[in-house]
Structure 1
Amino acid sequence: MSISFPHVGTFTYVMESICYEMNRKDVVVPNKPSYKTKQLGSRHSPEWICTPFKMLLGSFIEVLEQGAFELVGTLFIDYCRLGYYTPIYEMILDDLGYDFEFLYLNFNQPIGFIQEMKRRTSGLTYWGTFRAFQIGWIKNRFIDLVDKYLYHYQAIEFTKGSTQAVADKLYRIIVETRGMSNIRKLRKKIHEMFKEVDIDKKADPLKVVVVGELYAVVEPQINLDIMKQLNKLGVISYTPITFCRWIDIGSRANPFVRPTFKTAIKKAKPYVEYRLGGKTQESLGYAIMFKEKGWDGVVHLYPFTCMPEIVTRSIIPQVSREHDIPILSLVLDEHTGEAGLQTRLEAFVDLLDRKKNGT
């Protein structure tokens, strides 16, 4: 029985790593979402549901067509509808006649989470199962580091495509590296390989942070690879919105390390005192944080019908005005066109350049 999961940006590499550490040799790795993925998901989804639901459903259908039987899905109580989606996927896929079984991962119940993972491993103990998950969160840090370098160097590289080529090699190296002693060496290897990229060290590029709803930020197919599009305009891009907040238990349990999302939430308190779901507080807080760090602008992404981020969108003008930082909000759905998005990005970058140079 093959195991699989939906494609979710570069976090897909983390899921692949965890499955291999669970001694699962029958992993069906999902393909990157395509136009067909969008169409499949939209065709079988309620019209009013948000775009991430449609994209993830399309990805589930594709891996089932590739022969997957066990599907990894999340189930947790949160302020976002995402935590309740997996049972709906199960009903829709069952109605479509697929033969499958869902592996529910509930991050709010760590003991049950590990028990469920152990049940799907090939002979691992509870410690071995926890170890597999631990390796997953450690590798997630390295995947995020590769992403950080990629969207920095790509903006100032001399040879177009050279940074992406290095990143693609490193993603596979991270997935295929086994043994904790070898995994610990990955950080050094990442630094060394990116040093080989020929960049313009004299450049003084604009810097833009990307915030918003998690899936809209991390999945290039829904945001039309906006981080790369910014790089093509000569702008360094970065996002603090990743899966580390949920799966990196090591950092969360360390009393000497304050997670950046907690700092962001604190800075957003004057505008939104309580959690509203999605990344409302984090998005507002990160905008303020990166302004204080000297970044030039913020791009806020959210899916059509995402209620928490619609609230964020209504507060953003006040944050932009009071902290003097330009913020571009973009709503995304399955009909978003690349030409329109590109035009808005070019206008935004031109605005940032004029502001920076005082023209």
Structure 2
Amino acid sequence: MKRVSFAHMGYSYLGFQQLVEDMGFEAIVPPHPSRATLDRGVTYAPEYACIPFKMVLGTYLEVLERGAQMIITSGGVGPCRAGLYGMMHEKILRNLGYDFEIFIFDPPLTGIWTFFLKLRRVLKTAGVSWLAFVDIVRRAWAKLKLLDELEQTATVIRPYEINKGETTRLFHQCLKLVEQARSMKEITAAREECISLLKNIPQDRTRRPLKIGIVGEIYVLLEPFMNLDIEKTLGEMGVITHRSIYLTQYTTTDVLSHGAQDVRQLAHPYLNQFVGGHGQNSVGETILYARNGFDGVIQVAPFTCIPEIVAKSILPRVSRDFGIPVLSLTIDEQTGRAGVETRLEAFVDLLRQRREQREAKRDAALLFGY
């Protein structure tokens, strides 16, 4: 049985593990990213590469040493450099003496015939028919959608929790239940149990949490180790967060389609062309969060990420035009948790003061009739 692995990105590994195992492979599940994983990637990566490149390289080193024989990964198209990362990872790993297969899948719409030829080779290796593969994907997709739903549910409940940390504890309990669910019936049952667990957490609904949107590059948004658990940290500060990217939503809008056109249209007056990655989306999503009444926006970006650098240069103007504060956090291997938490605390304090000032002005207007 061939041993297959993939990159670790948030909680999606549970869906990919099921996909690989249902195809008849042995899944080498990548360990959760750690400082050791990053240090290994930094050792062999080019200095100019962004932190997702270094972390994924470190992950590949770990899974190859655990016996992985095949790596399945995603590619991309320019102008973001991420489209070349799969090839660069392969070259570095082969130069280090590792022997393995790698399948790099670019978005289907960039070359649908090439995509299906690669997929056919994987299915032939697995001995899986196209009909069986459709059913396998259906179950894995249901699990990925459930994982996204549970993340969103947890971020809404966490600011109201009475016992600090209980949402996070039960969320991780839910991950175990989701991992064990394999059939559609089991996944549906796991959803009902998990949603019930989370919604029955003791809450103080008299609280008035702030709402912060989070934009930026996909890997640092989805992987908690990379963003230093920003959603958990903000939630325990009394903030409801919403990411601009969830994996299943991104897959339908950007991988299987031509992107969220409404979001890019919003960005058009400020950034009227595709600059790669999620740069244009970060601008458009910030405008969308402002229109939907969010109190602030945080941009999380890897150091040297050109699309997010472009967005960062534009966001101050968007902030002024739409009256929404924006905090930009740049992440690299030198970023420390304490420094990020200090900046988040200061930003949340600013947003609370701003809300209080707005409410005081509104109350004065109502009282004195001006």
Scaled by the length of structure 1, what TM-score is found? 0.91
Please identify runs of 4+ aligned residues in structure 1 that moved more than 6 A. none
How has the CA–CA distance of structure 1 residues 252 and 46 changed in structure 2, closer, same or farther, with 3 Å as cutoff?
closer
Letter in 1 for 2:297: V
Q: Which residue of 2 aligns with 1:256?
A: none
How has the CA–CA distance of structure 1 residues 173 and 120 changed in structure 2, closer, same or farther, with 3 Å as cutoff?
farther
Q: Which residue of 2 aligns with 1:196?
A: 200
**Mapping of 1:49-68 within 5 angstroms?**
49-68=49-68
1:260-290 deviation per Cα after TM superposition (whole angstroms, max 9, x unaligned):
9332222111111121111112111111112
Structure 1, 306-315 or 137-146: larger mean CA deviation: 137-146
Q: Which residue of 2 aligns with 1:177?
A: 181
Does structure 1 conserve the Cα–Cα contact (< 8 Å) formed by 2:214 and 2:299?
A: yes
- % same residue: 34
In the TM superposition, residue 219 of structure 1 has moved relative to its aligned partner by 1.2
In the TM superposition, residue 13 of structure 1 has moved relative to its aligned partner by 1.9
Whole-Å separation in 2 of the counterparts to 1:102 and 1:310: 31
**Mapping of 1:1-359 within 5 angstroms?**
1-24=2-25, 26-108=26-108, 109=112, 110-112=115-117, 114-121=119-126, 123-248=127-252, 261-358=260-357
Letter in 1 for 2:303: F
Letter in 1 for 2:214: V
Does structure 1 conserve the Cα–Cα contact (< 8 Å) formed by 2:164 and 2:236?
A: no
Structure 1, 153-162 or 327-336: larger mean CA deviation: 153-162
1:126-149 deviation per Cα after TM superposition (whole angstroms, max 9, x unaligned):
121133223323322211111111
Does structure 2 conserve the Cα–Cα contact (< 8 Å) formed by 1:106 and 1:113?
A: no
Gaps of 5+ in 2: 361-370
Does structure 1 conserve the Cα–Cα contact (< 8 Å) formed by 2:139 and 2:182?
A: no
Whole-Å separation in 2 of the counterparts to 1:78 and 1:148: 30
Does structure 2 conserve the Cα–Cα contact (< 8 Å) formed by 1:51 and 1:304?
A: yes
How has the CA–CA distance of structure 1 residues 246 and 291 changed in structure 2, closer, same or farther, with 3 Å as cutoff?
closer
Q: Alignment partner of 1:68: what SS? A: coil
1:14-59 deviation per Cα after TM superposition (whole angstroms, max 9, x unaligned):
21121123232x1111111111111100000011111110010001
How has the CA–CA distance of structure 1 residues 238 and 166 changed in structure 2, closer, same or farther, with 3 Å as cutoff?
same
Does structure 2 conserve the Cα–Cα contact (< 8 Å) formed by 1:117 and 1:129?
A: no
Letter in 1 for 2:100: F
Q: Alignment partner of 1:221: what SS? A: coil
In the TM superposition, residue 6 of structure 1 has moved relative to its aligned partner by 1.8
In the TM superposition, residue 231 of structure 1 has moved relative to its aligned partner by 1.5
Whole-Å separation in 1 of the counterparts to 2:179 and 2:251: 17
Does structure 1 conserve the Cα–Cα contact (< 8 Å) formed by 2:156 and 2:241?
A: yes
Letter in 1 for 2:16: M
The structure with the largest alpha-carbon Rg is 2
Q: Alignment partner of 1:41: what SS? A: helix
In the TM superposition, residue 301 of structure 1 has moved relative to its aligned partner by 0.8
Structure 1, 82-91 or 155-164: larger mean CA deviation: 155-164
* Number of residues of Structure 1 aligned to a counterpart in Structure 2: 351
Whole-Å separation in 1 of the counterparts to 2:79 and 2:43: 27
1:130-175 deviation per Cα after TM superposition (whole angstroms, max 9, x unaligned):
3322332332221111111122212221122221222122223333
In the TM superposition, residue 97 of structure 1 has moved relative to its aligned partner by 1.3
Q: Alignment partner of 2:344: what SS? A: helix
Whole-Å separation in 1 of the counterparts to 2:84 and 2:193: 39
Does structure 1 conserve the Cα–Cα contact (< 8 Å) formed by 2:157 and 2:199?
A: no
Whole-Å separation in 2 of the counterparts to 1:242 and 1:260: 14
In the TM superposition, residue 241 of structure 1 has moved relative to its aligned partner by 1.0
How has the CA–CA distance of structure 1 residues 39 and 354 changed in structure 2, closer, same or farther, with 3 Å as cutoff?
same
Does structure 2 conserve the Cα–Cα contact (< 8 Å) formed by 1:301 and 1:329?
A: yes
Q: Alignment partner of 1:211: what SS? A: strand
Whole-Å separation in 2 of the counterparts to 1:124 and 1:305: 41
Gaps of 5+ in 1: 254-258
Scaled by the length of structure 2, what TM-score is found? 0.89
Whole-Å separation in 2 of the counterparts to 1:220 and 1:184: 26
Does structure 2 conserve the Cα–Cα contact (< 8 Å) formed by 1:106 and 1:112?
A: no
